[in-house]
Amino acid sequence: MTDIARLEKIAKTVRYLILKTTSAAGSGHPTSSLSAADLMCALMFSGAFRYDVNQPDHPNNDRLIFSKGHASPLLYALWVAAGKVTEQEVMTLREFDSPFEGHPTYTFRYAEAATGSLGQGLSIGLGMALNAKYIDRLPYATYVLLGDSEMAEGSQWEAIQLARHYRLDNLVGVLDVNRLGQRGETMYGHDLEAYQRRLEAFGWQTRSIDGHDMAQIVEAFRRDGAEPDRPLMIIARTLKGKGVSFLEDKDGWHGKALDEDQLAQALEELGEVDPQIRGAVSLPEDRLPERQEARAADRASYSPGDELATRKAYGRALARLYPAFPDIVALDGEVSNSTYSETFEKDYPQRFFEMFIAEQNMAGAACGLAARGKIPFVSTFAAFQSRAFDQIRMSQYSVANIKFCGSHSGVAIGQDGPSQMGLEDIAMFRTLSDSVVFYPSDAVSTEKLVEEAARHHGLVYIRTTRNTTPIIYAVDEEFRIGGCKVLKRSDGDRATIVAAGITLHEALKAQVELEREGIAARVIDLYSIKPLDVETLRAAAEETGVIITVEDHYPAGGIGEAVCGALSEDPVPVFCLAVDKMPKSGPPDKLLAFEQISKGAIVDKVKEILGEKPRSKATEPEVCTKAPEWAEHERLSDADMPCDDGRSGKL
């Protein structure tokens, strides 16, 4: 029988720790933590939560995610009460180098994922629940603490829909309805029925309770009587700042710590506290996940000269590589017949999850799957990855091992028009810490780079192309992270053309035409945009005197800027051809020409730089330079200076 009085004593001690740590830090969210203290103490120490506290990585531990990550003082205090963190340690809250950060991150070993940007925890929990039910086939449950403010986020309702669709009866949400957000009352205040009606309309089972009645809370967490195949939401009416009279249900206290006098008053109101009291956490079943042994993958088979879209090669690569990487899981946003992840789905349907047009939830679920040791490959159109950027951004703080694939990149998709053209995606993924960005140009390089992505631990973005492209590499060609390929080279090269993906083929055609006119040009396939092969780029700059980058992407944050940054200390000019006009619908070749990233535009630019034809301001593409010394180069004169119209300049 549950000792309710003991749980209440533990909750009082947890409140004491919340107040002490936030006051010592001089910042934090004590009131948001206090409102959920009873809920979380009941969960962890009543027997509902099953977790081996000495083995945080035990595969059958229940999982607990604080979607309302600003309640991190509560999370840390719970682990003091569990006997795994000392009061002295947690008093370093928010200090530099402390694992007890302002919002949970991977530095705290009991945090499942980095949270704090609201509306993401339920999606992460959904990924963990998918893993338990369909992949590892383990009985662990995933609990997610939610705030009422974040229920306004659309990503929550994406997750709520998908959780019911996948019958995740192992997913439990705990909704802390404390009425007050950062600046006042939340959308529904204390109207629990409003949340209940909406959640039940989406197929969830609900239990509405008083979030400060310990007996009610304990009863709500009992899993006996839960309906099969339906996720559960516990909707708890709470008071922000519960336990301290001058904080309880009072506006204006969000994110504010108490000063010394206020802390003394609050602790006096709490009354007698036992700082040494500890709660016991029930052990999980000692069950291990289903595992498949890795075995050698079949060899890819392609012939030079054949044509295949890199998006199709991506799907083939996933299916081919799965035996060698049996932790691969594929997620797609209802475009698998365009991204070609359907190839993987047909061979391994049990490892494929259709996430529908809900990209934010898809990225969050991938983070949850990655946290449970899987290798999620997340695919949709490159343009639509941008919808999920906040989830993608947050996944870097979880050190998540996720691979994203963006198909239908650039104006080269043609008639579908600007809404479908990924033109910002390279920039987006380049901004992420320690990310890898690949842009293959043919089927062979795609296959090899998908394999590199699977092998690498961390965030990887693979950009694929809609249209077919010729196969230019032999199947035994090697590709590595941070490499590039010099495809055309001679001792007499007078310029270097750097491209990737669709524009690489334009560059190769331009090289042939330039050669006919007696102009030797080097061509580099920059398949690894991040990290870059700086050594090869620097050698090309020194040997040819000028770099021209060509990309089917906006100038900001793309290949041109990456190359300019890499060569910022070299006195060699870098000219950037990129998409700088408003795109429109039309045939791909016309769009490439319109944006001046086609074969003809490359030829014209090389000849213009080398003084082979008069400069035409009317057709001048966007140009950048990366060092002030470039205008003194022997092949250029002041008349050749780009940036004289003020549109661009040194990077």
Query: Which tens digit of pLDDT belongs to each residue from 1-34?
Result: 689 999 999 999 999 999 999 999 999 999 999 9
All residues at 6 or more sequence positions from 487 whose CB lies less than 8 Å from its CB, including other chains: 472, 504, 508, 523, 524, 525
Could you tell me if 329 and 403 lie in one domain? yes
- Report the predicted TM-score, pTM, of the whole model to 2 decimal places: 0.93
- List of E strands, 181-290: 205-210, 232-237
Paired tokens of 313:
């090669």
Range of the domain at 165: 4-270
- The closest alpha carbon to 361, from 501, 629, 166, belongs to 166
Q: In what order do the strands lie in the sheet with 142-147?
A: 63-66, 142-147, 171-177, 232-237, 205-210
Task: Work out the pLDDT band at 613, boundaries 50, 70, 90.
Answer: low
pLDDT value of position 46:
98
Length of the chain: 651
Query: Which tens digit of pLDDT belongs to each residue from 337-358?
Result: 999 999 999 999 999 999 999 9
Could you tell me if 261 and 391 lie in one domain? no
Alpha carbon distance 38, 494 (integer Å): 72
Could you tell me if 329 and 457 lie in one domain? yes
Could you tell me if 532 and 451 lie in one domain? no
Minimum mean pLDDT range among 222-236, 437-451, 517-531, 612-626: 612-626
Alpha carbon distance 318, 351 (integer Å): 11
* Residue 357, helix vs strand vs coil: coil
pLDDT value of position 224:
79
Examine the pLDDT at 485 and tell me if it is beyond 60: yes
| SS3 letters across 26-37 | CCCCHHHHHHCH
Could you tell me if 526 and 461 lie in one domain? no
500: in domain? yes
Task: Work out the pLDDT band at 431, boundaries 50, 70, 90.
Answer: very high
285: in domain? no
Domain count, the chain: 3
- The closest alpha carbon to 120, from 172, 148, 159, belongs to 159
pLDDT value of position 1:
64
325: in domain? yes
- The closest alpha carbon to 372, from 137, 70, 115, belongs to 137
- Total Cβ atoms within 10 A of residue 157: 18
* Residue 624, helix vs strand vs coil: coil
Single residue among 415, 446, 470 that ends a domain in this structure = 470
Examine the pLDDT at 154 and tell me if it is beyond 60: yes
Query: Which tens digit of pLDDT belongs to each residue from 170-222?
Result: 999 999 999 999 999 999 999 999 999 999 999 999 999 999 999 999 999 99
Residue 50's DSSP bridge partners are 282
What one-character-per-residue DSSP string does 199-226 give? HHHTT-EEEEEETT-HHHHHHHT--TTP
All residues at 6 or more sequence positions from 1 whose CB lies less than 8 Å from its CB, including other chains: none
296: in domain? no
Examine the pLDDT at 637 and tell me if it is beyond 50: no
Examine the pLDDT at 643 and tell me if it is beyond 90: no
Could you tell me if 258 and 407 lie in one domain? no
pLDDT mean over 469-484:
97
Single residue among 255, 270, 285 that ends a domain in this structure = 270
Could you tell me if 441 and 511 lie in one domain? no
522: CATH: 3.40.50.920
145: CATH: 3.40.50.970
131: in domain? yes
Could you tell me if 378 and 525 lie in one domain? no
pLDDT value of position 244:
98
Could you tell me if 518 and 465 lie in one domain? no
Does an H or E element contain 485, and which? strand 485-488
Could you tell me if 324 and 462 lie in one domain? yes
- The closest alpha carbon to 356, from 626, 199, 164, belongs to 164
Query: Which tens digit of pLDDT belongs to each residue from 219-272?
Result: 999 987 778 999 999 999 999 999 999 999 999 999 999 999 999 999 999 999
83: in domain? yes
Examine the pLDDT at 401 and tell me if it is beyond 80: yes
Start-end of H helices in 46-188: 72-81, 87-90, 121-130, 154-165
Task: Work out the pLDDT band at 612, boundaries 50, 70, 90.
Answer: confident
648: in domain? no
Alpha carbon distance 273, 268 (integer Å): 10
Query: Which tens digit of pLDDT belongs to each residue from 54-104?
Result: 999 999 999 999 999 999 999 999 999 999 999 999 999 999 999 999 999
Examine the pLDDT at 121 and tell me if it is beyond 60: yes
650: in domain? no
Alpha carbon distance 42, 542 (integer Å): 67
Residues forming the active site = 359
Single residue among 470, 499, 522 that ends a domain in this structure = 470
Could you tell me if 87 and 143 lie in one domain? yes
Start-end of H helices in 501-609: 502-516, 534-544, 559-566, 588-594, 599-609
Could you tell me if 344 and 259 lie in one domain? no
